Structure 1
């Protein structure tokens, strides 16, 4: 989940995930939010880790290998297009699958950060289109000046969307704002233990407009006035998303 919210002082991008990995077992210690090798963005995933971890490693390696990408000479919006192209190019090197279905990436990503050129935050979902055989970009849902994007399993996503919608209805008669509604809904669903697909400690990343990056360990709800630019936090230093 990624949400762009306003606390009355500045816009803040918040990404929140759980730490559960699955696939024959539950492993509640899995990182799913990552820096991309530059301090103005993060990427997070949901889906099959046999695809997601290698692809995120490719993203980090790609950014760190080119000085103009690494040092932010290339703006984030343009860097995103290059990264999306690289992800699709990487699929050409998949060969000799044990089953044809294994050539179809069962995963999605959220790419989020701050674009200096656009003077605003940048949130995109990256999803695989089976018919066209490539990763494609999807914009976040916009609510006024704020935006909201989520990936993961259908059950938790539907529950999260309902809770956020209910909180927005409470603001009828005034300008509807997300504020901390997505984060509160996320923690409510996670604490309910209704869905086995999610579990473990929460991971939260906060991206501000300053283009600096700090990491810290935390188990609580992110505060809207945290001073770091990008704060990736989790119990025991690891955690993340819905899968």
Structure 2
């Protein structure tokens, strides 16, 4: 499966959206080069997944196709919240196209998504979790809720994938200071928790190269080259020796 996080980062008086994930797919073995975060072509959002790729990749590709085919969406005249509703309908329509699946063999789609970005209509970063509801047999969206009781402020973080309880515990550990939980919004504590879990062999379904994109209020989504442990990678793939990416580089020394 995977571990994917999206959070609102507050640093130096500014806010930005950060989406980060590992790069591991698992089947007969492990494949550590999977893109799990896809910037949407409109620039103000990205979609990320956890789970099985037989649902996740076709659905994300069709989401991109839906945006590219509609000028109001591509130009962002269609607000992010309305795009969320449209993508939900596109994905559920795709479910309706499944044919000839014996009832005894049918299984609920093992895929989850995060849609995260900046909504210009109310000047806010937003995160939604998209998951399958077995009762209705439809995908539904749920907005990310602030972490209540963690300090006296709102810290917005959404996590999908494996070992979520462990990941949340690691984030809380990184938030601890001499006087308790650090006040203010998240900085890079979720990234530190992700790096810890990628490195820990106990979490076999989480691994490979860390990938990250940031979304800024001018409605620009920027993938980052991650420099870590002597390797540079972009969106889950290590760069070849001769590759020179134009993407900015984030050096992770943890």
Fold shared, TM-score > 0.5 on shorter chain = yes
Question: Aligned partners of 1:9, 1:101: CA distance in 2, in Å?
Answer: 53
Task: Tell me which residue corresponds to 1:177.
Answer: 185
Change (3 A) 1:20 1:206: same
TM-score normalised by length of structure 2: 0.82
Does the CA contact (< 8 Å) of 2:214 and 2:223 recur in 1?
A: no
Task: Tell me which residue corresponds to 1:227.
Answer: none
Map of 1:1-243 to 2, 5 A cutoff? 1-97=5-101, 100-102=104-106, 104-143=108-147, 144-153=153-162, 155=163, 157-170=164-177, 172=180, 175-220=183-228, 233-236=235-238
Q: How many Å apart are 1:30 and its aligned residue? A: 0.7
Question: Aligned partners of 1:89, 1:117: CA distance in 2, in Å?
Answer: 27
Does the CA contact (< 8 Å) of 2:213 and 2:221 recur in 1?
A: no
Between 1 and 2, higher relative CO (CA 8 Å, sep ≥ 6) is seen in 1
For structure 1, the residue ranges without an aligned partner over 5 or more in a row are: 222-231, 239-243
Change (3 A) 1:202 1:98: farther
Give the superposed CA RMSD: 2.2
Larger Rg over CA atoms: 2
TM-score normalised by length of structure 1: 0.85
Change (3 A) 1:168 1:214: closer
SS of the aligned residue for 1:218 comes to: strand
Question: Aligned partners of 1:216, 1:175: CA distance in 2, in Å?
Answer: 27
SS of the aligned residue for 1:146 comes to: coil
Task: Tell me which residue corresponds to 1:241.
Answer: none
Give aligned pairs, total: 226
Higher strand proportion, which one? 2
Question: Aligned partners of 1:13, 1:57: CA distance in 2, in Å?
Answer: 22
